[in-house]
Amino acid sequence: MIVDQLVIPSVPGTPPCGPPVLDLGTGWTVTRHADVRAVLTDPACQVPVAGGGPPGTLAWLRGAVSRFSAPERHPARRAVGLAALAAVDPDELYADAARLTGDTLDRAGDRLDVMAVLARRVPLRVLAARLGFADPDAVEPVVTAVAAAYHPGADAVRVAAADAAVATLLAMGLPGPPEAAANRIGLLVQACDATAGLIGAAARHGLALPPTVPTTELLAEVLRLDPPVRGTRRVTVAPVRLPGGDLPPGSEVLLRFDAANRDPAAHGDPGCFVPGRPGPSLTFGAGPRGCPGQWQALALAAGVVDVLRRRCRLVHAPATHEPHALLRVPTTVEVVSR
Domains: count for the chain: 1
Model confidence pLDDT, tens digit, residues 259-272: 999 999 999 999 99
Q: Is residue 278 part of a domain?
A: yes
Q: Report pLDDT for 333.
A: 98
Domain ranges, residue 187: 21-337
Helix/strand/coil percent split, the chain, to 5: 45, 10, 40
Cα separation of 9 and 271, whole Å? Answer: 6
| pTM for this model (two decimals) | 0.96
Closest CA to 255 of 15, 29, 76: 29
Mean pLDDT over 68-79 rounds to 95
> Is residue 3 domain-resident?
no
Q: What is the mean pLDDT of the chain?
A: 94
Averaged pLDDT for residues 50-74: 95
- In the predicted model, what is the mean pLDDT of residues 95-112? 96
Residue 2 belongs to some domain of the structure: no
**Has residue 4 got a pLDDT over 90?**
no
Q: Is residue 195 part of a domain?
A: yes
Contact call for residues 199 and 206 (beta carbons, < 8 A)? no
Burial class (CB in 10 A: 0-12, 13-18, 19+), 213: middle
Q: For 73-86, what is the mean pLDDT?
A: 94
Residue 126 lies in a domain: yes
pLDDT band at 2 (very low <50, low <70, confident <90, very high): low
- Is residue 5 in a domain? no
pLDDT number for residue 182: 94
H or E segment to which residue 76 belongs = helix 74-86
Which phi-psi region, left, alpha or beta, contains residue 5 (left: φ > 0; alpha: ψ -120 to 50)?
A: left
Query: d(Cα 320, Cα 222) in Å, to the nearest integer?
Result: 17
Q: How confident is the model at residue 308, as a pLDDT?
A: 98
Collapsing DSSP to helix, strand or coil, 2 comes out as coil
Are 140 and 120 in contact by the 8 Å Cβ rule? The answer is: yes
Alpha helix stretches (DSSP H) within 171-208: 178-206
pLDDT tens-digit profile of 143-187? Answer: 999 999 998 888 999 999 999 999 999 998 777 888 899 999 999
CB 189 within 8 A of CB 66: no
Residue range 32-60: average pLDDT? 96
Percentage of residues of the chain with pLDDT beyond 90: 86
- Residue 321: is it exposed, middle or buried by C-beta count within 10 angstroms (0-12/13-18/19+)? middle
pLDDT grade for 68, boundaries at 50, 70 and 90: very high
Within 10 angstroms of residue 79's Cβ, the number of other Cβ atoms is 13
Whole-angstrom distance, CA of residue 1 vs CA of residue 268: 12
Given a cut of 60, whether residue 1 has pLDDT beyond it is no
Query: Residues near 254 by Cβ (< 8 Å), separated by ≥ 6?
Result: 26, 27, 28, 29, 30, 231, 232, 233
- Does residue 73 lie within any of the structural domains? yes
From 173-177, 284-288, 304-308, the region with the lowest mean pLDDT: 173-177
Do the domain assignments include residue 254? Answer: yes
Q: What's the CATH code of the domain at 122?
A: 1.10.630.10
The percent of residues above 70 in pLDDT, for the chain, comes to 99
What are φ and ψ of residue 30, in 5° steps? -115, 125
At 3 the pLDDT is 60
